[in-house]
Chains A and B, each alone.
Chain A
Amino acid sequence: MTQNDTTTESEQVPAGGVIATDPATESIWPLWEIFVRSSRGLSHVHAGSLHAPDGTMALRNARDLYTRRNEGTSIWVVPSEGITASDPDSKGGFFESAQGKNYRHATYYTQSEGVKHL
């Protein structure tokens, strides 16, 4: 609250001049994930997240927060709740099973004799 607010809020200010706000019930803006593409031909890369009341304002906030130093030529904003993420606790089952399976890489195989143009 700015000190000037009291001029327009006088009818709501209780005795003592303190406006009670309960952080638990105060509504906050939804969270958005920001993706910035630095130049043509590259993909959008996750840059961070921010709060905004809607997608249009999220784009503007992203412009102010993530492209102030000529970082971007394009911005995507995605509601954070629209992202389904892998569970960090189950990374064993998710990602580590690929380890040791060298035959999934091309370098595992030796070049057969007589095969040209490889």
Chain B
Amino acid sequence: MSDTVGFTSQDSATRISMGNAITAEELASREDRASEEVARYALILGDDSLMLAQRLGHWISRAPELEEDVALANIALDLLGHARFLLTYAGSAWDKTEDDLAYFRDEEEFRSARLVEHENGDFGQTIARQLIFSFYAYALYSRLLASTDETLSAIADKALKEVDYHRDHAAQWLMRLGGGTEESHRRMQTGLDTVWTYIEELFIDVEPTTQLAEAGVAVLPSALRDEVLTQLSTIIEEAGLRVPQAKGAFGADRSGRYSEHRGFILAEMQVLAREHPGATW
């Protein structure tokens, strides 16, 4: 990129640069448009990232230590980046921007799973949610790399490296909380037990994913289930914790009909954009 040179500083101990990965702006300026089906699929993926980013953002200034505050914020920003790519691409089907889709859709129009909408709880519960989602996302993006849709493949390539780190972050904390004190172990187990009820929704095959998967565009969620659950079980047992045997929560269909939290998340996320439409800062 041409502006990389001007952005680089040579005199500091640590040189900085922009790097050269794709950006949401670049994606928005592309000619290729998503079809209606691909757009609806991109929304499913994008809404998961957006909701989780919003939830994690709530930890900023509230994490147990300043360093962890930054780590969670970093992960939230990575996820927000994925949401920007996916919502931008989805919007190309309907002449909408990422902001139109993030700020001006109503509750029932979102397609996020309840796992990512679930409240943060304590740090253990947040790590439990991170663990499940990051292992799911890694399995998803590593397959989406082979998508016949070039844009989805490029987004997966960018996201994969980031969710790989999210996996590591969650796994490191799982080990430490699981094998830490009696209290940290108890909280980590409680966190896992709480969010585990929402895991199955991630692996539900909803339209239009099924038909897109047949065409090699999308990744069939049910195809990820065994791999992700096996990986999670292994690491949870390695941390000295118990794999929850919870019954799945009722109404796992990504429609949002059964989500008790989505409206509250959106109220906070959308209020500024809706009170001042078109505002920039």
Q: Decide if A8 touches B14 in the complex (CB within 8 Å).
A: no
The interface residues of chain A lying within 8 Å CB-to-CB of B172 are: 56-57, 60
Q: In the complex, which residue of chain A has the Cβ closest to the Cβ of B191?
A: A8
* B167 interface contact, C-beta 8 A: no
- 0/1 per residue, B1-35, Cβ < 8 Å to A? 00000000000011111110000000000000000
Q: Decide if A70 touches B168 in the complex (CB within 8 Å).
A: no
* A105 interface contact, C-beta 8 A: no
What interface size band does chain A fall in?
20 to 34
A11 → chain B closest CB, angstroms: 11
Report how far A60 CA is from B164 CA in the complex, Å.
13
Q: In the complex, which residue of chain A has the Cβ closest to the Cβ of B69?
A: A64
Identify which of A46-54, A84-92, A94-102, A108-116 touches chain B: A46-54
Q: Decide if A69 touches B190 in the complex (CB within 8 Å).
A: no
Say which residue of B15, B74, B190 sits within 8 Å of A38 (CB atoms).
B15
The interface residues of chain A lying within 8 Å CB-to-CB of B15 are: 38-39, 70-71
The interface residues of chain A lying within 8 Å CB-to-CB of B187 are: 8
The interface residues of chain A lying within 8 Å CB-to-CB of B119 are: 4
The interface residues of chain A lying within 8 Å CB-to-CB of B121 are: 4-5, 7-8
A60-B168, A60-B172, A71-B14 given; A9·B67 CB < 8 A:
no
The interface residues of chain B lying within 8 Å CB-to-CB of A69 are: 16-18
Q: In the complex, which residue of chain A has the Cβ closest to the Cβ of B121?
A: A4
Q: Which of B15, B58, B70, B176 has the most CB of A within 10 A?
A: B15
Report how far A72 CA is from B16 CA in the complex, Å.
8
- Residues of B with Cβ closer than 8 Å to A? 13-19, 58-59, 62, 65-68, 70-71, 74, 119-122, 124-125, 165, 168-169, 172, 176, 187, 190
Q: List 18 A-B contacts (CB under 8 A).
A: A2-B59, A2-B122, A5-B122, A8-B122, A8-B125, A8-B187, A38-B14, A38-B15, A39-B15, A46-B13, A47-B14, A50-B67, A56-B172, A60-B169, A61-B68, A61-B71, A70-B18, A71-B14
- Residues of A with Cβ closer than 8 Å to B? 1-2, 4-5, 7-9, 28-29, 36, 38-39, 45-47, 50-54, 56-57, 60-61, 63-72
